[in-house]
């Protein structure tokens, strides 16, 4: 027979046997499942009209060079971030640019 202090008894409350449970967000009902982190996170960027126009033209040129109908801004941003995270020279260049703009 189990008692209230039995860790196995906590399963009915959704609490792991370790006693740790994720914190619920404010306003969540106790019956709602706790949301898990999604695999992707969305980020947005504000561009000036000139930056937007320049990126659009660059994407069209890139699509021609790659041999496809279209290159999306999402593809460009993902490729840039991937390169930024693995290329120390590019990372240093971006840091220099950020410093000069402050």
What mean pLDDT comes out for the span 39-63? 93
Q: What is the dihedral of CA 28, 36, 79, 62, to 10 degrees?
A: -70
pLDDT at 12 over 70: no
Q: What is the pLDDT of residue 10?
A: 47
What mean pLDDT comes out for the span 14-41? 62
CA distance 33 to 36: 9
Residues in CB range of 13: below 8 A, 6 or more apart: none
Burial status of residue 78 (CB atoms within 10 A of its CB: 0-12, 13-18, 19 or more): exposed
HSE-up of 65 (CA within 13 Å, CB side)?
7
Per DSSP, 101 falls in state T
The pLDDT confidence band at residue 73, using thresholds 50, 70 and 90, is: very high
pTM of the model: 0.58
CA distance 11 to 28: 20
Q: What is the pLDDT of residue 34?
A: 65
Q: What are phi and psi of 74, to 5 degrees?
A: -60, -45
């Amino acid at each position: 027979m189990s008692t209230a202090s039995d860790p196995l008894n906590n399963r009915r409350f959704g609490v792991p046997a370790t006693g740790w449970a994720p914190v619920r967000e404010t306003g969540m009902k106790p019956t709602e499942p706790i949301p898990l982190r999604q695999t992707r996170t969305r980020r947005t960027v504000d561009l000036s009209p000139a930056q937007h126009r320049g990126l659009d033209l660059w994407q069209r040129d890139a699509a021609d060079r790659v041999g496809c109908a279209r290159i999306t801004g999402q593809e460009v941003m993902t490729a840039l971030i991937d390169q930024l995270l693995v290329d120390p020279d590019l990372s240093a260049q971006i840091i220099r640019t950020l410093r000069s703009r402050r």
